[in-house]
Structure 1
Amino acid sequence: MADQKQNSQGNQGSQEDSQDPSFSLQRTYIKDLSLEMPNAPQIFLEQEGPTVEVSINVGGQRLADTVYEATVTATVTTRIGDKVLYLVEATQAGIFEAANIPAEQLDPLIGIVCPTMLYPYLRANVADAITRTSLPPLHLAEVNFQGLYEQRIAQLSQEQQGGQEDSGLILPPGMTRQ
């Protein structure tokens, strides 16, 4: 009888363990990487210093019940005057397992934690790609993914509030209601 009680407790313990939240990074990979130098080699003769524009985007999708893909994309455009020195676009992706995570915590997990984990890989891959052009590497600055996430949520909230106040018609840019 004691054995039966212990077995039932052992089974109950493993059932409780399977309900515990778990999160892990399964794999990272470069999903997309492109490098363009449309004005080479003439651009190398320019004496002016380059200007740099960087754009960062985050994405995510469910692959299976507890498996998610998160992505961080960086687009780096470097110009000398009005000519492009180089354009690098890189998407670093990762596969994450997130089990028994409450629904309200899942979006911040995919939108903040996952990109934070992937970003160092992205930075290294962008620097490596640029180094292969024979130009000095560009090291991307640190990014506050929580701040980006909060901005996105605020923007979505404003768009939803704006949609509730008017007739629901979406006007093209530059158009006004009369």
Structure 2
Amino acid sequence: MAEQNNGAVAANEQQAQFTIQKIYVKDISFEVPNAPQVFNEPGQPQLELNLNQKVGRVAESLFEVVLEVTVTCKLADKTIYLAEVQQAGLFQLAGFDERTLDMMLGTYCPNVLFPYVRQTVGDLVASGGFPPFYLQPINFEALYAEGLRRRAEQVQANQAPGAGNA
């Protein structure tokens, strides 16, 4: 009996398929609005990093995942540079249950895209004449878990007595 159950699990695992169809830069921008004066500005610049992810269904089992990274470097109130990259990928995911599919799109796909976006941002900053910028590793599993926690809190808040009665 145990062998039959193991066989059923193996059959289900074999049905799930993950394939990277294409990885590409969807959008890219680099600005140095106050050049060339900013190259002589004294002081310690401040970096701000914004990260966003979008998932879109292209076909029944084909998904586009876009990892958006924006790096803003400022000195006081002046923008030194602004780098924006949308690194995208087309991923074929078939045979996954909804929970696993959501997890794959929220963690595994961004992990695949991250090295590409890190390289692109670093190249942009260096090509702009600035010291190298190394995007630190990101724990997409932790970000995904935090997103699940927030969604659960929102659902609970909406279901609370009187939540919809204003």
2:74 alignment counterpart: 79
Looking at structure 1, the residues matched to 31 and 158 of structure 2 have their Cα atoms a distance apart, in angstroms, of 40
Q: Percent identity?
A: 36
1:173 alignment counterpart: none
2:139 alignment counterpart: 144
Looking at structure 2, the residues matched to 46 and 116 of structure 1 have their Cα atoms a distance apart, in angstroms, of 36
Alpha-carbon shift at residue 35 of structure 1 (Å)? 0.9
1:123 alignment counterpart: 118
The answer to whether residue 87 in structure 2 is matched with residue 92 in structure 1 is: yes
Looking at structure 1, the residues matched to 158 and 38 of structure 2 have their Cα atoms a distance apart, in angstroms, of 47
Q: How many residues align?
A: 154
The answer to whether residue 27 in structure 2 is matched with residue 32 in structure 1 is: yes
Structure 1 unaligned regions, length at least 5: 1-15, 170-176
Looking at structure 2, the residues matched to 125 and 136 of structure 1 have their Cα atoms a distance apart, in angstroms, of 15
Alpha-carbon shift at residue 167 of structure 1 (Å)? 3.3
Looking at structure 2, the residues matched to 37 and 167 of structure 1 have their Cα atoms a distance apart, in angstroms, of 47
Q: Match for 2:41: what amino acid?
A: E
> 152, 157, 163: which is aligned to 1:167?
163
Structure 2 unaligned regions, length at least 5: 1-10
The answer to whether residue 109 in structure 2 is matched with residue 110 in structure 1 is: no
Alpha-carbon shift at residue 26 of structure 1 (Å)? 1.0
Alpha-carbon shift at residue 70 of structure 1 (Å)? 0.7
Alignment root-mean-square deviation, CA: 1.7
Q: Match for 2:117: what amino acid?
A: L
Q: Match for 1:89: what amino acid?
A: E
2:3 alignment counterpart: none
Alpha-carbon shift at residue 43 of structure 1 (Å)? 1.4
Contact 1:59 1:111 in 2 (8 A): no
Looking at structure 2, the residues matched to 168 and 160 of structure 1 have their Cα atoms a distance apart, in angstroms, of 12
